[in-house]
Structure 1
Amino acid sequence: MLSTSLLHALPEAFESGADTHTLFATLLGGLLAFFMLEKLAILRHSHHHEHDGHHHAHGHDKREAGKAGWMILVGDGMHNFTDGILIAAAFLADPGLGIVTGLAIIAHEIPQEIGDFIVLLNAGFSRARAYVYNLLCSLLAVAGGLLGYYTLDRASNLIPYVLVFASSGFIYIAVSDLMPQMQRRATLRETIPQVLLIALGVCIVLFLTAHRH
Protein backbone atom coordinates (compact mmCIF):
# COMPACT_ATOMS: atom_id res chain seq x y z
CA MET A 1 0.00 0.00 0.00
CA LEU A 2 2.84 2.39 0.80
CA SER A 3 4.64 1.49 -2.43
CA THR A 4 1.49 1.97 -4.49
CA SER A 5 0.93 5.39 -2.91
CA LEU A 6 4.48 6.76 -2.79
CA LEU A 7 5.95 5.21 -5.93
CA HIS A 8 2.97 5.17 -8.28
CA ALA A 9 -0.22 7.08 -7.40
CA LEU A 10 1.30 10.23 -5.89
CA PRO A 11 3.90 10.71 -8.65
CA GLU A 12 1.12 10.23 -11.21
CA ALA A 13 -0.95 12.93 -9.48
CA PHE A 14 1.91 15.42 -9.10
CA GLU A 15 3.06 14.94 -12.69
CA SER A 16 -0.44 15.79 -13.94
CA GLY A 17 0.18 19.54 -13.74
CA ALA A 18 -2.35 20.10 -10.92
CA ASP A 19 -1.54 22.75 -8.31
CA THR A 20 1.07 21.31 -5.93
CA HIS A 21 -0.13 23.17 -2.84
CA THR A 22 -3.71 21.98 -3.41
CA LEU A 23 -2.54 18.39 -3.83
CA PHE A 24 -0.60 18.53 -0.55
CA ALA A 25 -3.65 20.08 1.15
CA THR A 26 -5.74 17.21 -0.22
CA LEU A 27 -3.22 14.72 1.16
CA LEU A 28 -3.35 16.33 4.61
CA GLY A 29 -7.15 16.56 4.50
CA GLY A 30 -7.38 12.90 3.52
CA LEU A 31 -5.14 11.77 6.40
CA LEU A 32 -7.19 13.80 8.88
CA ALA A 33 -10.46 12.53 7.37
CA PHE A 34 -9.41 8.89 7.77
CA PHE A 35 -8.26 9.64 11.31
CA MET A 36 -11.67 11.10 12.18
CA LEU A 37 -13.52 8.21 10.53
CA GLU A 38 -11.54 5.73 12.60
CA LYS A 39 -12.07 7.83 15.74
CA LEU A 40 -15.84 7.87 15.15
CA ALA A 41 -15.85 4.12 14.57
CA ILE A 42 -14.01 3.56 17.84
CA LEU A 43 -16.39 5.84 19.75
CA ARG A 44 -19.47 4.16 18.25
CA HIS A 45 -18.21 0.71 19.26
CA SER A 46 -17.41 1.75 22.84
CA HIS A 47 -20.62 0.54 24.48
CA HIS A 48 -21.41 -1.09 27.82
CA HIS A 49 -22.04 -4.80 28.36
CA GLU A 50 -24.19 -6.75 30.79
CA HIS A 51 -21.23 -7.95 32.84
CA ASP A 52 -19.19 -4.72 32.93
CA GLY A 53 -20.34 -3.72 36.42
CA HIS A 54 -23.38 -1.81 35.15
CA HIS A 55 -26.95 -3.00 35.48
CA HIS A 56 -28.51 -3.69 32.09
CA ALA A 57 -31.69 -5.44 31.12
CA HIS A 58 -31.46 -9.06 30.01
CA GLY A 59 -30.55 -9.31 26.32
CA HIS A 60 -28.67 -5.99 26.32
CA ASP A 61 -25.51 -7.59 24.91
CA LYS A 62 -27.39 -9.22 22.03
CA ARG A 63 -29.12 -5.98 21.06
CA GLU A 64 -25.88 -4.00 21.23
CA ALA A 65 -24.00 -6.67 19.27
CA GLY A 66 -26.70 -6.54 16.60
CA LYS A 67 -26.32 -2.76 16.35
CA ALA A 68 -22.56 -3.17 16.03
CA GLY A 69 -23.11 -5.66 13.22
CA TRP A 70 -25.29 -3.23 11.27
CA MET A 71 -22.75 -0.43 11.84
CA ILE A 72 -20.04 -2.71 10.44
CA LEU A 73 -22.17 -3.29 7.32
CA VAL A 74 -22.87 0.42 6.81
CA GLY A 75 -19.24 1.39 7.29
CA ASP A 76 -17.99 -1.44 5.09
CA GLY A 77 -20.49 -0.56 2.34
CA MET A 78 -19.39 3.08 2.28
CA HIS A 79 -15.75 2.00 2.29
CA ASN A 80 -16.26 -0.39 -0.64
CA PHE A 81 -18.19 2.24 -2.60
CA THR A 82 -15.31 4.67 -2.14
CA ASP A 83 -12.79 1.99 -3.16
CA GLY A 84 -14.69 1.51 -6.42
CA ILE A 85 -14.44 5.23 -7.20
CA LEU A 86 -10.72 5.22 -6.39
CA ILE A 87 -10.04 2.24 -8.66
CA ALA A 88 -11.95 3.93 -11.48
CA ALA A 89 -9.90 7.11 -11.01
CA ALA A 90 -6.67 5.12 -11.10
CA PHE A 91 -7.66 3.32 -14.31
CA LEU A 92 -8.64 6.60 -15.95
CA ALA A 93 -5.24 8.07 -15.03
CA ASP A 94 -3.31 5.02 -16.27
CA PRO A 95 -4.31 1.35 -16.75
CA GLY A 96 -1.15 0.14 -15.04
CA LEU A 97 -1.88 2.34 -12.04
CA GLY A 98 -5.42 0.97 -11.97
CA ILE A 99 -4.17 -2.62 -11.80
CA VAL A 100 -1.69 -1.86 -9.00
CA THR A 101 -4.32 0.13 -7.06
CA GLY A 102 -6.85 -2.68 -7.45
CA LEU A 103 -4.35 -5.28 -6.21
CA ALA A 104 -3.44 -3.10 -3.22
CA ILE A 105 -7.11 -2.70 -2.30
CA ILE A 106 -7.74 -6.45 -2.71
CA ALA A 107 -4.75 -7.26 -0.48
CA HIS A 108 -6.25 -5.10 2.26
CA GLU A 109 -9.90 -6.03 1.71
CA ILE A 110 -9.58 -9.83 1.91
CA PRO A 111 -8.47 -9.94 5.58
CA GLN A 112 -10.86 -7.08 6.41
CA GLU A 113 -13.86 -8.90 4.90
CA ILE A 114 -12.93 -12.05 6.83
CA GLY A 115 -12.81 -9.98 10.00
CA ASP A 116 -16.17 -8.37 9.22
CA PHE A 117 -17.68 -11.82 8.62
CA ILE A 118 -16.52 -12.95 12.07
CA VAL A 119 -17.91 -9.76 13.66
CA LEU A 120 -21.29 -10.39 12.01
CA LEU A 121 -21.34 -13.96 13.32
CA ASN A 122 -20.58 -12.68 16.83
CA ALA A 123 -23.35 -10.11 16.40
CA GLY A 124 -25.89 -12.91 15.98
CA PHE A 125 -26.07 -13.17 12.18
CA SER A 126 -26.37 -16.66 10.72
CA ARG A 127 -23.57 -17.79 8.40
CA ALA A 128 -25.79 -17.50 5.32
CA ARG A 129 -27.10 -14.07 6.33
CA ALA A 130 -23.61 -12.76 7.14
CA TYR A 131 -22.32 -14.04 3.80
CA VAL A 132 -25.16 -12.47 1.81
CA TYR A 133 -24.88 -9.08 3.52
CA ASN A 134 -21.09 -9.11 3.16
CA LEU A 135 -21.47 -9.92 -0.53
CA LEU A 136 -23.96 -7.09 -1.04
CA CYS A 137 -21.58 -4.65 0.66
CA SER A 138 -18.76 -5.85 -1.58
CA LEU A 139 -20.87 -5.25 -4.69
CA LEU A 140 -21.06 -1.57 -3.76
CA ALA A 141 -17.47 -1.35 -5.00
CA VAL A 142 -18.81 -2.16 -8.49
CA ALA A 143 -21.40 0.61 -8.15
CA GLY A 144 -18.70 3.03 -7.03
CA GLY A 145 -16.49 1.99 -9.92
CA LEU A 146 -19.22 2.61 -12.48
CA LEU A 147 -20.08 5.97 -10.95
CA GLY A 148 -16.43 6.98 -10.84
CA TYR A 149 -15.79 5.89 -14.41
CA TYR A 150 -18.68 7.81 -15.94
CA THR A 151 -18.31 10.84 -13.65
CA LEU A 152 -14.55 11.30 -13.58
CA ASP A 153 -14.29 10.64 -17.30
CA ARG A 154 -16.12 13.93 -17.81
CA ALA A 155 -14.17 15.72 -15.09
CA SER A 156 -10.62 14.49 -15.70
CA ASN A 157 -9.21 17.46 -13.76
CA LEU A 158 -10.48 15.83 -10.56
CA ILE A 159 -8.53 12.58 -11.08
CA PRO A 160 -5.22 13.82 -9.52
CA TYR A 161 -7.06 14.88 -6.36
CA VAL A 162 -8.91 11.56 -6.12
CA LEU A 163 -5.58 9.75 -6.51
CA VAL A 164 -4.04 11.83 -3.72
CA PHE A 165 -7.05 11.19 -1.48
CA ALA A 166 -6.79 7.46 -2.21
CA SER A 167 -3.09 7.59 -1.36
CA SER A 168 -3.85 9.27 1.96
CA GLY A 169 -6.12 6.33 2.82
CA PHE A 170 -3.46 3.79 1.85
CA ILE A 171 -0.78 5.61 3.85
CA TYR A 172 -3.02 6.01 6.90
CA ILE A 173 -4.08 2.35 6.94
CA ALA A 174 -0.52 1.13 6.45
CA VAL A 175 1.10 3.41 9.05
CA SER A 176 -1.59 3.50 11.73
CA ASP A 177 -2.97 -0.03 11.50
CA LEU A 178 -0.94 -2.59 9.57
CA MET A 179 2.61 -1.62 10.55
CA PRO A 180 1.86 -1.37 14.32
CA GLN A 181 0.36 -4.87 14.16
CA MET A 182 3.51 -6.15 12.48
CA GLN A 183 5.68 -4.48 15.11
CA ARG A 184 3.99 -6.53 17.83
CA ARG A 185 5.58 -9.66 16.31
CA ALA A 186 9.14 -9.04 17.44
CA THR A 187 10.66 -12.52 17.09
CA LEU A 188 13.26 -13.12 14.39
CA ARG A 189 11.20 -16.01 13.00
CA GLU A 190 8.25 -13.68 12.34
CA THR A 191 10.32 -10.67 11.30
CA ILE A 192 12.18 -12.34 8.42
CA PRO A 193 9.01 -13.28 6.43
CA GLN A 194 7.59 -9.79 7.07
CA VAL A 195 10.70 -8.07 5.68
CA LEU A 196 10.84 -10.41 2.68
CA LEU A 197 7.16 -9.85 1.84
CA ILE A 198 7.53 -6.07 2.21
CA ALA A 199 10.54 -6.16 -0.11
CA LEU A 200 8.56 -8.28 -2.58
CA GLY A 201 5.70 -5.78 -2.56
CA VAL A 202 8.07 -2.85 -3.19
CA CYS A 203 9.80 -4.74 -6.02
CA ILE A 204 6.49 -5.57 -7.70
CA VAL A 205 5.39 -1.92 -7.69
CA LEU A 206 8.83 -0.77 -8.90
CA PHE A 207 8.74 -3.32 -11.72
CA LEU A 208 5.26 -2.30 -12.83
CA THR A 209 6.17 1.38 -12.65
CA ALA A 210 9.38 0.91 -14.65
CA HIS A 211 7.57 -1.32 -17.16
CA ARG A 212 4.87 1.32 -17.65
CA HIS A 213 7.45 4.02 -18.35
Structure 2
Amino acid sequence: MTLTYILLATLVGGIASVVIAASLTHAVLSRVVKHLVSLSAGVLLSTALLHVLPEAFESGVDAHKLFLTLLAGLLFFFLLEKAELYRHNHHHEGDGHHHHHHFDREQAGRGGLSVLVGDGIHNFCDGFIIAAAFLADHHLGWVTAMAIIAHEIPQEVGDYIVLLNAGFSRAKALLFNALSGFAAVLGGLAGYFLAGHWEGIFPYLLVVAASSFVYVSVADLIPQLQRRLPWRETAAQLLWLGTGVTLVLLLVGGPHAGHAH
Protein backbone atom coordinates (compact mmCIF):
# COMPACT_ATOMS: atom_id res chain seq x y z
CA MET A 1 0.00 0.00 0.00
CA THR A 2 2.88 2.37 0.79
CA LEU A 3 4.30 1.92 -2.72
CA THR A 4 0.86 2.74 -4.22
CA TYR A 5 0.72 5.96 -2.16
CA ILE A 6 4.24 6.93 -3.25
CA LEU A 7 3.44 6.32 -6.93
CA LEU A 8 0.15 8.22 -6.67
CA ALA A 9 1.71 11.21 -4.86
CA THR A 10 4.69 11.48 -7.22
CA LEU A 11 2.50 11.04 -10.30
CA VAL A 12 0.08 13.76 -9.17
CA GLY A 13 3.05 16.01 -8.33
CA GLY A 14 4.59 15.47 -11.75
CA ILE A 15 1.40 15.77 -13.81
CA ALA A 16 -0.71 18.35 -11.91
CA SER A 17 1.54 21.27 -12.85
CA VAL A 18 1.54 20.22 -16.52
CA VAL A 19 -2.26 20.00 -16.56
CA ILE A 20 -2.54 23.44 -14.95
CA ALA A 21 -0.04 24.91 -17.42
CA ALA A 22 -1.94 23.33 -20.33
CA SER A 23 -5.30 24.73 -19.20
CA LEU A 24 -4.22 28.36 -18.80
CA THR A 25 -3.29 31.00 -21.34
CA HIS A 26 0.13 32.67 -21.27
CA ALA A 27 -1.33 35.92 -19.87
CA VAL A 28 -3.25 34.12 -17.11
CA LEU A 29 -0.18 32.01 -16.23
CA SER A 30 1.92 35.12 -15.75
CA ARG A 31 -0.70 36.59 -13.39
CA VAL A 32 -1.33 33.39 -11.39
CA VAL A 33 2.33 32.55 -10.76
CA LYS A 34 2.85 35.42 -8.30
CA HIS A 35 -0.07 34.22 -6.13
CA LEU A 36 1.19 30.62 -6.27
CA VAL A 37 4.62 31.84 -5.10
CA SER A 38 3.04 33.32 -1.95
CA LEU A 39 0.99 30.16 -1.35
CA SER A 40 4.08 27.95 -1.83
CA ALA A 41 6.16 29.97 0.63
CA GLY A 42 3.50 29.53 3.31
CA VAL A 43 3.07 25.80 2.63
CA LEU A 44 6.79 25.00 2.49
CA LEU A 45 7.80 26.93 5.60
CA SER A 46 4.94 25.61 7.73
CA THR A 47 5.45 22.03 6.52
CA ALA A 48 9.17 22.17 7.35
CA LEU A 49 8.82 23.88 10.74
CA LEU A 50 5.54 22.44 12.02
CA HIS A 51 5.67 18.89 10.72
CA VAL A 52 8.81 17.52 9.04
CA LEU A 53 11.41 18.81 11.51
CA PRO A 54 9.39 17.86 14.64
CA GLU A 55 8.94 14.36 13.14
CA ALA A 56 12.71 14.04 12.68
CA PHE A 57 13.55 15.38 16.15
CA GLU A 58 11.05 13.04 17.83
CA SER A 59 12.92 10.04 16.37
CA GLY A 60 15.39 10.04 19.28
CA VAL A 61 18.43 10.87 17.12
CA ASP A 62 20.89 13.29 18.74
CA ALA A 63 19.64 16.85 18.13
CA HIS A 64 23.17 18.13 17.43
CA LYS A 65 23.53 15.67 14.55
CA LEU A 66 20.18 16.70 13.11
CA PHE A 67 21.01 20.41 13.36
CA LEU A 68 24.35 19.69 11.66
CA THR A 69 22.41 17.90 8.90
CA LEU A 70 20.08 20.90 8.61
CA LEU A 71 23.07 23.26 8.24
CA ALA A 72 24.73 20.94 5.69
CA GLY A 73 21.44 20.72 3.75
CA LEU A 74 21.06 24.50 3.60
CA LEU A 75 24.67 24.91 2.42
CA PHE A 76 24.22 22.11 -0.13
CA PHE A 77 21.15 23.76 -1.69
CA PHE A 78 22.99 27.09 -1.69
CA LEU A 79 25.90 25.54 -3.61
CA LEU A 80 23.52 23.68 -5.92
CA GLU A 81 21.84 26.97 -6.82
CA LYS A 82 25.27 28.59 -7.35
CA ALA A 83 26.20 25.80 -9.77
CA GLU A 84 22.88 26.26 -11.59
CA LEU A 85 23.45 30.02 -11.89
CA TYR A 86 26.96 29.51 -13.28
CA ARG A 87 25.69 26.94 -15.76
CA HIS A 88 23.00 29.30 -17.03
CA ASN A 89 25.03 31.41 -19.40
CA HIS A 90 22.21 33.28 -21.06
CA HIS A 91 22.31 37.02 -21.70
CA HIS A 92 19.60 39.60 -21.08
CA GLU A 93 17.91 41.99 -23.47
CA GLY A 94 19.28 45.15 -21.92
CA ASP A 95 22.85 43.94 -21.34
CA GLY A 96 24.40 46.20 -24.00
CA HIS A 97 25.39 43.24 -26.21
CA HIS A 98 23.99 43.08 -29.72
CA HIS A 99 23.30 39.54 -30.91
CA HIS A 100 21.66 38.47 -34.14
CA HIS A 101 18.39 36.50 -34.08
CA HIS A 102 19.95 33.08 -34.71
CA PHE A 103 22.26 33.55 -31.73
CA ASP A 104 19.29 34.53 -29.56
CA ARG A 105 17.33 31.41 -30.53
CA GLU A 106 20.37 29.18 -30.03
CA GLN A 107 21.10 30.60 -26.58
CA ALA A 108 17.42 30.45 -25.61
CA GLY A 109 17.24 26.82 -26.75
CA ARG A 110 20.24 25.92 -24.61
CA GLY A 111 18.66 27.73 -21.66
CA GLY A 112 15.45 25.73 -22.19
CA LEU A 113 17.28 22.40 -22.21
CA SER A 114 19.32 23.40 -19.17
CA VAL A 115 16.07 24.18 -17.32
CA LEU A 116 14.70 20.73 -18.25
CA VAL A 117 17.81 18.84 -17.10
CA GLY A 118 17.96 20.76 -13.80
CA ASP A 119 14.23 20.29 -13.28
CA GLY A 120 14.44 16.54 -13.95
CA ILE A 121 17.16 16.10 -11.31
CA HIS A 122 15.17 18.26 -8.88
CA ASN A 123 12.00 16.20 -9.47
CA PHE A 124 13.90 12.92 -8.95
CA CYS A 125 15.12 14.20 -5.56
CA ASP A 126 11.59 15.33 -4.67
CA GLY A 127 10.31 11.81 -5.45
CA PHE A 128 12.98 10.28 -3.20
CA ILE A 129 12.03 12.66 -0.36
CA ILE A 130 8.31 11.80 -0.75
CA ALA A 131 9.17 8.07 -0.59
CA ALA A 132 11.24 8.54 2.57
CA ALA A 133 8.39 10.51 4.20
CA PHE A 134 5.81 7.79 3.35
CA LEU A 135 8.12 5.07 4.67
CA ALA A 136 8.43 6.97 7.95
CA ASP A 137 4.72 7.77 8.31
CA HIS A 138 1.79 7.83 5.84
CA HIS A 139 0.36 11.08 7.19
CA LEU A 140 3.79 12.71 6.95
CA GLY A 141 4.06 11.39 3.39
CA TRP A 142 0.87 13.13 2.26
CA VAL A 143 1.76 16.43 3.95
CA THR A 144 5.27 16.34 2.45
CA ALA A 145 3.86 15.48 -0.99
CA MET A 146 1.42 18.39 -0.73
CA ALA A 147 4.23 20.79 0.19
CA ILE A 148 6.33 19.62 -2.75
CA ILE A 149 3.37 19.81 -5.16
CA ALA A 150 2.55 23.35 -3.94
CA HIS A 151 6.11 24.40 -4.80
CA GLU A 152 6.28 22.37 -8.02
CA ILE A 153 3.18 23.94 -9.59
CA PRO A 154 4.53 27.54 -9.73
CA GLN A 155 8.01 26.23 -10.58
CA GLU A 156 6.76 24.05 -13.43
CA VAL A 157 4.45 26.80 -14.70
CA GLY A 158 7.44 29.18 -14.59
CA ASP A 159 9.57 26.63 -16.46
CA TYR A 160 6.80 26.26 -19.03
CA ILE A 161 6.87 30.03 -19.65
CA VAL A 162 10.71 29.85 -19.98
CA LEU A 163 10.40 27.05 -22.55
CA LEU A 164 7.84 29.02 -24.58
CA ASN A 165 10.21 32.01 -24.55
CA ALA A 166 13.03 29.66 -25.58
CA GLY A 167 11.20 28.90 -28.82
CA PHE A 168 9.49 25.62 -27.86
CA SER A 169 5.98 25.13 -29.27
CA ARG A 170 3.18 24.90 -26.67
CA ALA A 171 2.77 21.14 -27.27
CA LYS A 172 6.53 20.47 -27.12
CA ALA A 173 6.92 22.54 -23.92
CA LEU A 174 4.09 20.58 -22.25
CA LEU A 175 5.53 17.23 -23.40
CA PHE A 176 9.02 17.98 -22.10
CA ASN A 177 7.62 19.35 -18.84
CA ALA A 178 5.60 16.12 -18.40
CA LEU A 179 8.72 13.98 -19.02
CA SER A 180 10.64 16.11 -16.50
CA GLY A 181 7.79 15.66 -14.00
CA PHE A 182 7.87 11.88 -14.50
CA ALA A 183 11.37 11.89 -12.95
CA ALA A 184 9.56 12.32 -9.59
CA VAL A 185 7.97 8.88 -10.06
CA LEU A 186 11.40 7.34 -10.75
CA GLY A 187 12.74 9.07 -7.62
CA GLY A 188 9.82 7.69 -5.61
CA LEU A 189 10.55 4.15 -6.81
CA ALA A 190 14.26 4.53 -6.04
CA GLY A 191 13.43 5.89 -2.58
CA TYR A 192 11.04 3.02 -1.82
CA PHE A 193 13.46 0.26 -2.81
CA LEU A 194 16.66 1.85 -1.49
CA ALA A 195 15.65 3.81 1.61
CA GLY A 196 13.59 0.91 2.96
CA HIS A 197 16.80 -0.96 3.81
CA TRP A 198 18.20 1.87 5.94
CA GLU A 199 15.47 3.03 8.32
CA GLY A 200 18.10 4.71 10.49
CA ILE A 201 18.62 7.39 7.85
CA PHE A 202 14.94 8.48 7.77
CA PRO A 203 15.37 11.29 10.36
CA TYR A 204 18.33 12.64 8.35
CA LEU A 205 16.40 12.42 5.05
CA LEU A 206 13.50 14.29 6.66
CA VAL A 207 15.87 17.03 7.85
CA VAL A 208 17.36 17.30 4.34
CA ALA A 209 13.81 17.59 2.97
CA ALA A 210 13.07 20.34 5.52
CA SER A 211 16.30 22.17 4.62
CA SER A 212 15.20 22.09 0.97
CA PHE A 213 11.80 23.57 1.90
CA VAL A 214 13.33 26.28 4.11
CA TYR A 215 16.01 27.20 1.57
CA VAL A 216 13.58 27.42 -1.37
CA SER A 217 11.20 29.55 0.74
CA VAL A 218 13.76 31.94 2.20
CA ALA A 219 16.24 32.21 -0.69
CA ASP A 220 13.95 31.91 -3.70
CA LEU A 221 10.25 32.53 -3.01
CA ILE A 222 10.20 35.21 -0.29
CA PRO A 223 12.74 37.49 -2.07
CA GLN A 224 10.33 37.51 -5.05
CA LEU A 225 7.67 38.89 -2.70
CA GLN A 226 9.91 41.54 -1.10
CA ARG A 227 9.07 44.42 -3.40
CA ARG A 228 7.34 47.72 -2.67
CA LEU A 229 3.77 47.10 -3.82
CA PRO A 230 0.36 48.79 -3.57
CA TRP A 231 -1.41 47.84 -0.35
CA ARG A 232 -3.92 45.64 -2.19
CA GLU A 233 -1.15 43.46 -3.66
CA THR A 234 0.64 43.31 -0.29
CA ALA A 235 -2.64 42.21 1.34
CA ALA A 236 -3.07 39.54 -1.37
CA GLN A 237 0.46 38.25 -0.68
CA LEU A 238 -0.28 37.97 3.05
CA LEU A 239 -3.62 36.30 2.32
CA TRP A 240 -2.01 33.64 0.08
CA LEU A 241 0.85 33.11 2.58
CA GLY A 242 -1.68 32.67 5.36
CA THR A 243 -3.71 30.28 3.20
CA GLY A 244 -0.60 28.13 2.72
CA VAL A 245 0.04 27.98 6.47
CA THR A 246 -3.65 27.27 7.19
CA LEU A 247 -3.74 24.42 4.65
CA VAL A 248 -0.84 22.70 6.40
CA LEU A 249 -2.36 23.26 9.85
CA LEU A 250 -5.65 21.75 8.68
CA LEU A 251 -3.90 18.74 7.14
CA VAL A 252 -1.62 18.21 10.11
CA GLY A 253 -4.35 18.95 12.66
CA GLY A 254 -2.50 21.68 14.54
CA PRO A 255 1.24 22.01 15.18
CA HIS A 256 2.63 18.54 14.63
CA ALA A 257 -0.13 16.06 15.36
CA GLY A 258 0.74 12.53 16.31
CA HIS A 259 1.56 9.65 13.98
CA ALA A 260 -1.02 8.37 11.56
CA HIS A 261 0.27 5.10 10.15
Question: Would you say 1:159 and 2:225 are equivalent positions?
Answer: no
Alignment correspondent of 1:203: 246
Residue aligning to 2:120: 77
2:164 aligns with 121
> Residue type matched to 2:131 in 1?
A
Distance in 2 of aligned mates of 1:57 and 1:186: 36
- Larger deviation, residues 148-157 vs 81-90: 148-157
Return the letter of the residue paired with 2:45.
Answer: L
Tell me the equivalent position of 1:19: 62
CA deviation profile, 1:103-136 (whole Å, cap 9, x unmatched): 1111111111111111112212222221111101
Choose between structure 1 and 2 for higher RCO, CA contacts under 8 A separated by at least 6 residues. Answer: 2
* SS class of match (2:133): helix
**In the alignment, is residue 173 of structure 1 matched against residue 189 of structure 2?**
no
Over 3 Å counting, the alpha-carbon distance change for 1:160 and 1:119 in structure 2 is: same
- Matches of 2:156 and 2:230, distance apart in 1: 28
Matched, 1:194 2:237: yes
Aligned-partner Cα distance in 2 for 1:199–1:121: 32
User: Whole-Å Cα distance in 1 between the matches of residues 240 and 91 of structure 2?
Assistant: 40
Instruction: Give the stretch that moved more between structures: 192-201 or 135-144.
Output: 192-201
* TM-score of the superposed pair, with normalisation by structure 2: 0.75
User: Equivalent residue of 1:11, what SS?
Assistant: helix
1:40 pairs, out of 74, 78, 83, with 83
Asked if the contact 1:89–1:159 (Cα under 8 Å) also holds between the matched residues in 2, the reply is: yes
SS in structure 1 at match of 2:167 = coil
Instruction: Pick from 178, 183, 208 the counterpart of residue 135 of structure 1.
Output: 178
The CA distance in 1 between the partners of 2:65 and 2:166, in whole Å, is 43
- Which stretch has the larger CA shift, 68-77 or 199-208? 199-208
Aligned partner (choices 138, 144, 148) of residue 105 of structure 1: 148
Q: How many residue pairs end up in the alignment?
A: 213
- TM-score normalized by structure 1? 0.91
CA contact (8 A) 1:77 1:138 kept: yes
Deviations 1:4-34 (A, max 9, x none): 0011000101111122222111111111111
Mean CA deviation greater in 17-26 or 151-160: 17-26
Please list, as runs of the form range in 1=range in 2, the aligned pairs for 1:44-59 lying within 5 A after superposition. Answer: 44-48=87-91, 52-54=95-97, 59=102
Cα deviation for residue 55 of structure 1 reads 6.7
The answer as to whether partners of 2:90 and 2:111 remain within 8 angstroms in 1 is no
Between the aligned residues of both structures, percent identity stands at 59
The CA deviation at 1:56 is 5.7
1:154 alignment partner, SS class:
coil
Give the distance between the partners of 2:189 and 2:234, measured in 1 at CA: 40
